[in-house]
Amino acid sequence: MSKTSLSGFPEWLPEGRVVENYILQKIRQGFELHGFANIETRAIEPVSELLRKGETSKEIYLLRRLQEDPVKAAEDPRQLGLHFDLTVPFARYVLENRGALTFPFKRYQIQKVWRGERPQDGRFREFTQADIDIVGDGSLPFFHEVEVAVVMARVLSSLPIPPITIRVNNRKIVQGYCEAVGVTDVEGALRCLDKLDKIGAEGVGEEMAELGFAEEAREKLLQMAQIQGDAAQIRSQVDALACKSELLEEGMGELIDLLTQTEERVPGTVTGDLSIARGLDYYTGTVYETTVTGHENLGSICSGGRYDSLASDGKRTYPGVGMSIGVSRLVSRVLAEGLATSSRKVPTCVLVAVTDEEHRAESNRIADALRNRGISADTAPKAAKFGKQIKAADQRGIPYVWFPDAGEVKNIISGDQTEADVATWEPEECYAKPQISTDN
């Protein structure tokens, strides 16, 4: 098979995969500690459903049979595509299983997604996401918006990365503020403000002008978007703008409540930032974006928000709130910067030496006996001199070599060699499985 190169599809080396699995394990443990149940949904959804979330069709990978007429396929209303996130398929899952679910339903989901965008640092065409959502039947209390922030703060703080900051806002604040300054195109304002980090205040102002926003309204919106800090700072700065509306006050009350509660439960992790708009227009309450200290150029590694109408059958609505970790984006930076490394390339704890090929069966029996006791073992690929077999183990990071004839096991890291009984021997705990080392 000829060598092919496809950008945007990460394939880690074995030691990198060990680190990724460690991160996934920590995420999974954290979610389950907070009572989230695991589900998995299909990779394929009708394109019409995928487009409900407001994403452009250019990001969706279409799916069709090789011999299918491409023209007819494009016109088929049942056209299928690979999901580009986990929220849309989860909304469908809730609707299809609403009779069997107990609400509020707390789920986590860790799966691959596909997005047809230009690959760059931290952005891939195929990547893994880890989501949590809490969905209610007809209503969902505000305290769940606090809960998902707390859960994500704890999970992310358990990973081998520098400290994180979850920046939060509330869409009611933005919408209420627009009403107070006479802006009727709220979605246009949200789209512009969402670009503040990318194009700056001047660029956002220019885009607002193109939408027909009055100069005074543009200035006030930009003043609002530059407010950030803790609960007291947010309150005083918003009050100083002297803009009032009922929706603005409702959103401010929720944001202050969230900042106050998270400061008590996960201190120093969550901060208010009124520039956070999130470009997707189905968010209705709290919105979240997360950055890693010292790696802000990576962008948000975890984002999400409150939504009230994404899951609806026309008669009943299932509001929810959730956040999503871009696992592949995070892992790519962890590996590139050496933020975490694995002690070995393979899970193998013991390499059983082979005296000669005639006695390989004895080495296999020892390896099987160790495996039956839960100890990862392998047999040497060649019956070479023991020195070469030890070297082969060392190259893969395997800490122990077992010598069948002598009934001894050697720790090639410490150099200790002792007699050992295959029925009772145990490796030192630090060598039983690959260990993850971090620099933070």
Nearest-angstrom CA–CA distance, 142 and 134: 11
Q: Is 115 annotated as a binding residue?
A: yes
Q: Is 333 annotated as a binding residue?
A: no
Quickly count: other Cβ atoms within 10 Å of residue 2's Cβ.
Answer: 3
Are residues 50 and 88 in contact, defined by beta-carbon separation less than 8 angstroms?
A: yes
* Exposure class string for 80-117: b at 16+ Cβ within 10 A, else e: bbbbbbbbbbbbbbbeeebeebeebbbbbbbbebbbbe
The token pair at 264 is 């008590």
Nearest-angstrom CA–CA distance, 392 and 15: 16
- Sheet with 400-403: strands ordered across: 377-379, 350-352, 400-403, 408-411, 417-419
The identity of residue 291, as a single letter, is: T
Task: Name the residue among 362, 348, 370, 355 with its Cα closest to residue 422.
Answer: 370
Q: What is the CA radius of gyration of the chain?
A: 27
The DSSP element (H or E) to which 157 belongs, if any, is helix 143-157
Are residues 121 and 8 in contact, defined by beta-carbon separation less than 8 angstroms?
A: no
Are residues 134 and 313 in contact, defined by beta-carbon separation less than 8 angstroms?
A: no
Q: Is 86 annotated as a binding residue?
A: yes
Are residues 134 and 146 in contact, defined by beta-carbon separation less than 8 angstroms?
A: no
Q: Is 282 annotated as a binding residue?
A: yes
Nearest-angstrom CA–CA distance, 104 and 101: 9
Q: Is 307 annotated as a binding residue?
A: no
Q: Is 133 annotated as a binding residue?
A: yes
Residues 6+ apart with CB under 8 A from 157: 163, 164, 266, 269
* Exposure class string for 131-148: b at 16+ Cβ within 10 A, else e: bbbbbbbeebeeebbbbb
Q: Is 93 annotated as a binding residue?
A: no
Nearest-angstrom CA–CA distance, 331 and 12: 9
Burial (CB < 10 A; 0-12, 13-18, 19+), residue 338, is: exposed
Are residues 190 and 281 in contact, defined by beta-carbon separation less than 8 angstroms?
A: yes
Binding residues: 85-87, 115, 129, 133, 278, 282-283
Binding residues for L-histidine: 85-87, 115, 129, 133, 278, 282-283
